[in-house]
Amino acid sequence: MVKSLPARSAVPVEETWDLSSLISSSPDFNQQLEDLEQQAEAINEKFQGTIIDTESITQVLTAYMRFMEKMVLLSTHANLTASTDQTNDEAQLQASKFGATAAKIGSQLSFITSELLALPTETLEQAMEESTEFRVFLKKLLRKKPYQLHPEAEKSLAAYSSTFSAPYGLYNTTKMSDIDFEDFEVNGQKYPLSYGSFEGDWEAETNTELRRAAFDAFSKKLKEYQQTTAKTYDMQLQTEKTTADLRGYDSIFDYLLFNQEVDRTLYDRQIDLITTELAPHMRKYAKLLQKVHGLDRMTFADLKISLDPSYEPEITVAESKQYIDDALSIMGPDYLEMVDRSYSERWIDFAQNKGKSTGAFCSSPYGDHPYILISWTGRMNEVFVLAHELGHAGHFYHAHQEQNIFNGRPSLYFIEAPSTMNEMLVANHLLKNSADPKFKRWVISSIVARTYYHNFVTHLLEAAYQRKVYERIDAGQSVNAGILNSIKRGVLEDFWGDTVEINDGAELTWMRQPHYYMGLYPYTYSAGLTISTQVSKRILKEGQPAVDEWLEVLKAGGTKNPVELAQMAGVDITSEQPLRDTIAYIGELIDELVNLTEEIEAD
């Protein structure tokens, strides 16, 4: 039964992450922040107006690189501390203080980019030839030359950076601090409700009456905050539109896709093909859920239930490690050592507590190890969630060993490939080790419900909704709660057809997702999973040679664009074939679920 969440202070320390390698104490944080300000001033005084040739380019970039290595550790500490408890005033004030200082620093150091881009292209190209360390950084910088503003304008924009990121902070404050869910009642008994308990437990609750009542109560409370949340989101959208226009991009899409290093065709293809061609497969899956559970009707509130709840074993944190070790052993001893350290050195925050950010994420600061946030409920499917986040950790763990801070992070388009790859490896390992039909059905349904539903359906429908929103914004319009609800409901109805009843409250799903404050992020989940599905098939078929190639991809970090990284792994994403193959594979998995269910029910 779902319990009320404890305060952060009441959580056992062994369930929390250890942030001491980032920073040791709050006074130390303030001192380090002050030191950073002074170092930024020193860089400004020493280098502003001096960047004139290849030698001075190397000198200023070396100083800037060392500075950023220090700054990212402090930034990570501020963000991670705030993410574990949105009700902690001290942590929130610390994060705000860092944001304000970072904006001031960004303004002081904006001259670096401005002066570099003011140089003749030939000088920058010569610097790229002479310095392998900064070659990729300068190559990416050159792409921005057509969109660079006057140095004073760049300085002003940088000074406002914390203001521009304010909508995301406001969204989190509304979501995690202001919204207070009351208990909901079913048949005279009260049950506790929170963001974490709804998304971690009630959505998958097997008792239909409880599950639907939780959905209704959750939606009713969300609705009270829809106008504020919509206004916050519109602030984000208008800021992005203004920036795109100021910099001279043809559209807001071109602006948001620029740093992803992919063009609009790859973005649109991902949304259009999945929306049309995956829908029939997922409708078949929804009908299977309805049949197995004997539901009177299939509603949006029923889509997250397990196909076989009786085969959803409880699992402890300690037990999860053995599953993950066994599944990821194919990646080699260095990779497994990282996994072992993540448990033994407390890189992972497992605790459930009030005010903690929902979902799961991995933060990988350069110069330190990765950190993973997850709220562990003990469900077996969380092995997949943890493996996913360890995929991000393994990616940056390898990339940061090989690359400098400028080259470590690849395009957002590619970022979800290593994470979803680990989910596929877990699934393949589990399938290989049992012939029992019930266990096979549980594993395959976990792949469909967790890996593919979450990444190919949930995030893809977010992307389809997001594209419609941005089309409005690009046309000079704005949005409010009514418009957002209408767009979201339309996207859901188009995908699910008459198979799933889009009940009241489903249209408010847009309020739950922080990804909308991160540009065109949601569609990249399916893009990454398309790549990892194809590579995991190669690993199953070819073994070690395919693994070795994948490890080289991880080490490459951001030195190549998404098309080149996928090519390194043997996947051609310039064609639609990998996506079509992946959609067909999902269809095969669902067909196998239908067959296994018939086999089990016939016994």
Residue 3: per-residue pLDDT: 64
Domain 8-163 architecture: Up-down Bundle (1.20)
Q: To which residue do tokens 């860092």 refer? A: 98
pLDDT, tens digit (0-9, with 9 covering 90-100), for 359-394: 899 999 999 999 999 999 888 888 989 999 999 999
Residue 182: per-residue pLDDT: 92
pLDDT, tens digit (0-9, with 9 covering 90-100), for 187-202: 999 999 988 889 878 9
Three-class SS state of 229: helix
Residue 2: per-residue pLDDT: 56
Does the structure show a pLDDT above 90 at 47?
yes
Region 49-58 average pLDDT: 96
Task: Report residue 325: phi and psi, to 5°.
Answer: -60, -45
Compute CA 231 distance to the chain's CA centroid, rounded to the nearest angstrom: 23
Region 455-477 average pLDDT: 94
Angstrom distance (rounded) from CA 578 to CA 571: 7
Region 553-580 average pLDDT: 94
The answer to which of 213-227, 236-250, 450-464, 478-492 has the lowest mean pLDDT is 450-464
For the segment(s) 252-345+379-602, the CATH number from 3.20.20.70, 1.10.443.10, 3.60.40.10, 1.10.1370.20 is: 1.10.1370.20
Angstrom distance (rounded) from CA 543 to CA 471: 44
- pLDDT class for 289, splitting at 50, 70, 90? very high
Region 416-442 average pLDDT: 88
Does the structure show a pLDDT above 60 at 476?
yes
The domain segmentation of the chain, as residue ranges, is 8-163, 180-224, 252-345+379-602
Does residue 520 contact residue 256 with C-beta atoms inside 8 Å? yes
- pLDDT class for 203, splitting at 50, 70, 90? very high
Region 419-426 average pLDDT: 91
Compute CA 593 distance to the chain's CA centroid, rounded to the nearest angstrom: 28
Rounded to 10 degrees, the C-alpha dihedral 398/401/403/407 comes to 50
pLDDT, tens digit (0-9, with 9 covering 90-100), for 513-560: 888 999 999 999 899 999 999 999 999 899 999 999 999 999 999 999
Beta bridge partners of 189: 186
> Across all residues in the chain, what is the average pLDDT?
93
Helical axes 417-432 vs 523-542, angle rounded to 10°: 40
Secondary structure element (H or E) that encloses residue 28, with its range: helix 26-47
- pLDDT class for 477, splitting at 50, 70, 90? very high
Looking at CATH, the fold of the domain delimited by 180-224 is given as Helix Hairpins (1.10.287)
Q: Comparing C-alpha atoms, which of 503, 177, 551, 527 is closest to residue 328?
A: 551
Amino acid letter, residue 56: S
Angstrom distance (rounded) from CA 269 to CA 467: 12
